[in-house]
Structure formats: C-alpha cells, structure tokens
A and B are shown apart, each in its own frame.
Chain A
Amino acid sequence: MAELMKVLGIWLGAYFTLSIFSFLYKDNPFYKLAEQIFVGLSAGYWLIYTIYNILVPNLFNLLFTDFAHNWLLLIPMLLGIMMLLRIIPSAQWLSRYPIALMVGTTAAIYMLLSFKSDFLAQIAATMVNPFKFSSPVDVVGTILLIVGVLCGVYFFYFSKKQEGVFAIPSKIGIWFLMVSFGASFGYTVMARISLLIGRLDFLLRDWLHIIK
C-alpha cells in the first residue's frame, strides 16, 4: 500500500509541477488551480508549524503542566487574543496594545543588533592592514575592500550635495555597488537554475525513469 501511495505521490508531484510550468505558455486553469492549492497548503502548513513549534511548547504545555510557575504567560496569550480582535471592527483598537508591544520590542532588538553586528562589527572588520598579507592578490583585494567600504558609505551620505571633487568617491562607490549587484544577480540566477534542474531531474528520473 505504501509503495502504491508513493507512486501516487510522484504522479501528484508531476501533475502539479507541469501545471505550474504551463504558465510559461499563458495563464490557464491548471496553473490557477495549482496556484490556489499552493496558497492554501502554505497557509495550512505555517499554521500547523506555528502551533506545534511555538504555541504548544512555549505557551500551552507550560500553562497546562505547571500553571503556578507560568501564569504570567496568560499576559502574552491575552495580548495574542487581543491581536485577533483586529478582525472585529468595533474592537479593532484593542489590537493596538499587542502591536505596540511587538513594534517597541522589535525596534529595540533590531536597534541593538544592527548597531553591534552591522555597524561596529563591520567597521572593525574593515580595519585591516593590507600590507600584512604576503600574497599580492590579498594586498590588492584588501585595499579594494577598504576603498570600497569608504566610498560606498560616502555614496549613502545624503546630507550634503555631492558635486565636483566630492562626487568622485560617490562615483567609485557606485562602481562597487554595481559589482555587488551583478554578483548577487549571478548568484540568484544560479540558484533558480539549480531549482529548475531539480524539477527537471524529478520529472525525468522519478516520474518518467528516463534518467537512471
């Protein structure tokens, strides 16, 4: 039975794969159906994932097994329920409290995190002596790194108009940014292509058994 269900699963997977690819021709009922099923399954998956991996271990289990020590968890639970009241227009204002708590906490967490890891740590990592390396490639690379960071940051300085001599570092900053965008683009393309190869491999190997 399990073997039969596995074969059925592969056929289902192949059907949905081809349904999505059919969009390359034009929008059609097969694609629309697959798209909506994908949306429904995604929502269902994340709901169940949230229940089993966050709410059950961090809230319900603690409340049901040791209420005396965890009664304080009733507060986030109440705030969570208040958040759900957003769907009732007359009680919508109550959702502002949990949102305010989330926004305030997130802002502070990200402020500390960004300042430590994105600001201080990145500046510290750029303070390298390029001439300590023996390889000329590393020396040139590190000089490029320092110049690139300085010019890149200068490009994002908007408090003063960048013209004349002051526009030169900004221009160099743009060049570095373009190289980085090109690299990111190349990586994204390669990631998508590898996903495409994965799907073609599934169709030709698992479904049609053309590739052994």
Chain B
Amino acid sequence: MSVLSLSHVSLSYGQPSGTAALPVLKDVTLSLSRGDFVSVIGRSGSGKTSLMNLAAGFLRPTAGQVSIDGRPVTGPGPDRAVVFQDDALFPWRSVVDNVALPLKLAGKPRAEREATARHWLQAVDLAGQEGKHIWQLSGGQRQRVGIARALASGPDFLLMDEPLGALDAMTRDRMHELLLKLWDESHTGALLITHSVEEALFLSTSVVVLAPGPGRISFQEDYDYGRRFIRGEDPRALKSEPGFIAARERLLAAIYEKEAA
C-alpha cells in the first residue's frame, strides 16, 4: 500500500535575494493512499496547482517534505502520472502512440506497449480512434487520451490538475462516471485539483478546502458518494440526497469563509 504524503509543506516563490519571497502554501499536511480519491478545491490563488506540482515533483517545497512511503520525492517519476489542464498531448504522434509513449520510454517491447495502449483507450471509450491525429479529436476526447496515457504507465497515483475545466457540463458528467470507473479499476490513489464543489463531492473519498493567502487547509471531510456510485447507485439520485446537498453547502461555506475580510 503506497502512501503519498505531504507533511508540513510550505512553498514560496521568489528569488533568494532581492524581492521578498511570495508565500504560496503554508504548513500543508495531506496524505493520499492507493484507493483514495482526494479532491482539492479552493478559490483562485489558494495554491491548488502548486500543491499538485509539489506532489508531482515539478516543484520542491521551501519547507516540509513530500514523500512516498517515507522516501522523499526528488522529482517527477512514473509512479505519479499527471493529467494536465491543457491535455499536453503530442500532436506529432497518433492517438495510440501518445498513450504508448510512457511504455516506450520505459523500454517496453512494441507489441506490449501497443496492447496496453489499446486496452486503456478502450477503457476510456476511445476504441476505434487509435489511428487518428490528436487535432481530429474533441476536447473531451483529448482529455480521455490524456487520462489513458497517464494510466498506461501503471502509476500508483493519478494527479489531475483541473482536467475537466474546459469541458461542457454534459461531457463533464459523463467524465465523472468514467473517472470513477477508471479509478476503481486501476487501484490508484487519485488527487484531483478542481474548482467545482459538486465534482469534488461526487468523486472523492475526501475533499480538502484550501484557503488563500498563503494557501492552507481550512477544511477537510470524507465522503462516499463515488464509492456508492461504483456499487451501482444512480448518480442523479446520489446528487439529490439531502446529505449531498448539506455537504455541498458546508464546502461552499468553507470556501467563501472570511471572504468579506
């Protein structure tokens, strides 16, 4: 059981000399086990994306530690796959070759990477689109290719930075159900950065609210709507439960807390 943990992590941007460092995150402690689905929400400027960049290893914390099973994270690695807000696909490769790239970089033989890529494309409902060019796909399809590519590398953790932000509402709803299915099948620990309260609430086993200036955890609560959906409950029924609506109000209150100040 792998655990990705951030312990007492602080982050500041700015040159060591000259201008005063700009604090972005302050004393954030968070842990993500395989099988968890943790969402991070907060207003813009609360350091959500910085948090993900720390978990991915793109940034190093100014203080505190990011570690996996006690080993400190020193950079990005194949155990933590990232899904980017802009799909970050490679337009010079076909759909299937995009998904197969992590396996190619890992030195897997051609037949194996082809088979794995096809498997994950099928899992994201893109069977039959393997040979297409990236620019022939819609925004939702591109994000699914990005998710398939992330999962193809067989990661322990799936880190997603507002992957659905640019999609329309109906596409998002379908993507939520797909994400839950993939999370369940891949047994990854998912970390989702989002600005949608409903999305966070429906998908996550735990939602973390970041308060801005500098970003710190102001609220955290555990939920089971995603797991109940996987067990076969109807998503619309789940989202209209009194408990769901009350939880949404608690989260919204936490996000907009002290906004007047």
A binds B: no
